[in-house]
Amino acid sequence: MIKSILIPVFTLLLSGNIQATSNLHADAIYVCPPCGQKCDSLEFKQDGVCKHCNMKLILKNEMDKLQTGANKKRIAFYLHDGVEILDFAGPLEVFKVAGHEVIIVSKTTEPIVSQGTLKIVPDYDIENVPSVDVIAFFGGNVRLDIINNGVSKWIQSLNDVDNYFSVCTGVFFLGEAGILKNKTATTFHSSLDYLEQNYKDTKVLREARYVDNGKVITTAGISAGIDGALHLVAKWQGFNKAREVAFVMEYDKWVPGEGMILSEDNPYQNLISLNELEDYDGIYVNDKGISVTIKVDKREKGLYALLGKNRTPIFHEKEDKFSRMNKEYVTFIRNDNKEVIRMESSEHQGQFFKQ
């Protein structure tokens, strides 16, 4: 799945010279996409499937491009017995694909069980957590006795983190620690009344996918954690990175900016408008008869290139310049009337003319 996204089909089509991938990547190194297992550090000489985790191998240089070391965060996931699997697994996938480090923390390092099924061994207990940039809490079996058994005081001691993040009823960890005081928050739909009745100094929103107060981000239930995590990636690494991660994950339900953003750090406020994107929509053909269709995705607020049966995102950088996942550029050319008439690639000579 991921391999089909990352192999440079676009490069081959633009050149008009289709080669066998075995020749194109004869000396390539392949790696396993981040899965949290020992195979994350292994390298392979041939394409295929990881024999340890059965994930499709991808080119190492493409994985390096997906990960942004300069903005890498260390994120602590606090997990407890009964934690909801998708609450933490969705954001975990988002953050790992975006290139961040995730550590698992619990009250002790004894194994915990998620939804009576998945056994998890924490990396750290709350007494030995290294410094982190973000602390995250999740729902499922959240009870006050679990929170107030030393965990609340530990949260209060983490005053140097960049962000507090909660999914679903994980919001009550923040509420009990006083982090939600004079903040706006949301949670799982059946827990909104409890949040409103028991945390009087917190404004509760009932229709928000997530709420961004700046330092404190809370989300609605379960799958909404994916949207909240993508929003954090957009804040840290930019909207284009969040689009890239959503594409790799095949998460086609994401609506950028769908949450309530109360902070000044809004990664969507300066995006190119849909009306401006419509300028590029159309079919482009080169002198060899190869065509590329550029389509606007209104939900995602971006462009996609359709190359045969392959659909790949292109990312707006500035003016008429866009980038691809391999960081090469596509530039659209306008005539004197400011109409888009052709498209050029930074990788190859030749032009694609708009039909």
Query: What is the secondary structure of 117-182 as a DSSP string?
Result: TEEE--SEETTSPPP-SEEEE--SS--HHHHTTTHHHHHHH-TT-SEEEE-GGGHHHHHHTTTTTT
- The conformation of residue 56, written as its DSSP 8-state character, comes to B
> Residue 258 phi/psi, 5° resolution?
-70, -25
Q: Would 282 be classed as within a structural domain? A: yes
Tell me the one-letter amino acid at 87. D
Determine the Cα–Cα distance for residues 324 and 108; give it in Å rounded to an integer: 44
Is pLDDT above 90 for 28? Answer: no
Q: What is the pLDDT of residues 76-125, one digit of tens each?
A: 999 999 999 999 999 999 999 999 999 999 999 999 999 999 999 999 99
Q: How confident is the model at residue 19 (pLDDT cuts 50, 70, 90)?
A: very low
Q: Which residue has the tokens 């975006």?
A: 98
Under the banding of pLDDT at 50, 70 and 90, the label for residue 151 is very high
Q: Of 204, 228, 261, which residue sits at a domain end?
A: 261
Q: If residue 114 lies in a helix (H) or strand (E), which one and from where to where?
A: strand 112-114
pTM score, two decimals? Answer: 0.80
Residues 186 and 212: their CA atoms lie apart, in Å, by 10
Percentage above 70 pLDDT, the chain? 86
The predicted pLDDT at position 13 comes to 40
DSSP, collapsed to helix, strand or coil, labels residue 295 as strand
Residue-range definition of the domain harbouring residue 289 = 274-354
Per DSSP, the residues of 235-262 read HHH-HHHHHHHHHHHT-TT--TT-SEE-
Q: For residue 247, name the pLDDT band (cuts at 50, 70, 90).
A: very high
206-245 per-position pLDDT tens digit: 999 999 999 999 999 999 999 999 999 999 999 999 999 9
Same domain membership, residue 144 and residue 257: yes
Is residue 242 included in any domain, yes or no? Answer: yes
pLDDT score of 339:
97
Residue 12 Rama label (left phi>0; alpha psi -120 to 50; beta): alpha
| Domain boundary, last residue among 22, 45, 66 | 66
Query: Mean pLDDT score of the chain, rounded to an integer?
Result: 87
- DSSP state, residue 33: P
For the stretch 163-205, pLDDT in tens is 999 999 999 999 999 999 999 999 999 999 999 999 999 999 9
CB 314 within 8 A of CB 346: no
The verdict on 30 and 44 lying in the same domain is yes
In a domain, 269, yes or no: no
User: Measured between alpha carbons, how far is 231 from 93 in angstroms, rounded to an integer?
Assistant: 14
Q: What mean pLDDT do residues 143-153 have?
A: 87
| Total domain count, the chain | 3
